[in-house]
Amino acid sequence: NFADGFPNLFISNAHGIRGQHVAFLASFSSPAVIFEQLSIIYSLPRMFIASFTLVLPFFPTGSFERMEEEGDVATAFTLARILSNIPLSRGGPTSLVIFDIHALQERFYFGDSVLPYFESGIPLLRERLCQLPDSNNVMIAFPDDGAWKRFHKLLQCYPMVVCTKVREGDQRFVRIKEGDPAGRHVVIVDDLVQSGGTLIECQKALAAHGAAKISAYVTHGVFPKRSWERFQHDNGGGAEHGFAYFWITDSCPLTVNAIRDKNPFEILSLAGPIAAALQ
């Protein structure tokens, strides 16, 4: 950085990438790093490259996609507009690869100068579930209707249970809407986790209805303020012990570094799906 704190950036071997197909793996892990990465992202297409692909595994403002009252700022639209202004390369618009964006309608927030390409981490989960010793007893749970609508078609080979949030006075609870988890290894599936409150309430509801074992999968383990610590335990495995497994992808590298080798967490790498998307 310069003395005033602004980034001092340089692209090595700029002549060597002329005529090449270039991909940039971005991580907008905090607002502080977005400007310096955008500076590189905006520069690369102007270096006479054949094509440009931006891989942004986690779209960080995806859950702020709408207004609920006048004055709300939908920052998902703001970030989409910023990315839509990436210059064209010799090959045309930038290809933008994102995994499990929070709301599918956000594809329409992007302008015509980028081509959003949405991938999912669910195939990694399916592969991991097949490796479990009790794979024939797995059941999928969704914490709300939104998660069911989003992912149920990708997991149709498993029986399912759907939860719902209900309000009683000033408190919110998770209840089972349909399905019977009794005796099953239930895996809760969602796109991301922040504080983890919904997952914990869902776990309690499933355990109360007789689930033998409960695990969780989210593509994006955001876990602000080390909220992942709420899920640590001795990995006893039973429903009364919390979560037997908690799978996340490596889309949020700061979280991955913090929870590596800590039970019950397992990291599912996006390297393979990213490589496939670049073909």
Structural contact between residues 147 and 190, judged by C-beta atoms closer than 8 angstroms: yes
3-state secondary structure of 73: coil
From-to residues of CATH 3.40.50.2020 in the chain: 15-119, 122-269
Q: How far apart are CA 121 and CA 143, in angstroms?
A: 18
Tokens standing for residue 264: 């019950």
Apex 273 CA angle, 267 and 279, nearest 5? 155
Residue partners of 34: CB distance under 8 A and separation at least 6: 28
Strand partners, 99: 119
| 65 alpha-carbon distance from chain centroid | 15
| pLDDT tens track, the chain, 279 positions | 788 888 889 998 899 999 999 999 999 988 889 999 999 999 999 999 999 999 999 999 877 666 667 877 788 889 999 999 999 999 999 999 999 998 888 888 899 999 999 999 999 999 999 999 999 999 999 999 889 999 999 999 999 999 998 877 677 778 899 999 999 999 999 999 999 999 999 999 999 999 999 999 999 999 999 999 999 875 444 555 689 999 999 999 999 999 998 999 999 999 999 999 998
Q: How far apart are CA 40 and CA 242, in angstroms?
A: 43
Task: Supply the pLDDT for residue 248.
Answer: 98
Strand partners, 178: 162
CATH of domain 122-269: 3.40.50.2020
H helix or E strand, kind and range, residue 172: strand 171-178
3-state secondary structure of 22: strand
Phi-psi region of 142 (alpha: psi -120 to 50; beta: other; left: phi over 0): beta
Q: How far apart are CA 210 and CA 134, in angstroms?
A: 16
Helices then strands, each counted (H, E), the chain: 7, 11
Residue 252, Cβ neighbours under 10 Å: how many? 25
Read off the pTM: 0.90
CATH of domain 15-119: 3.40.50.2020
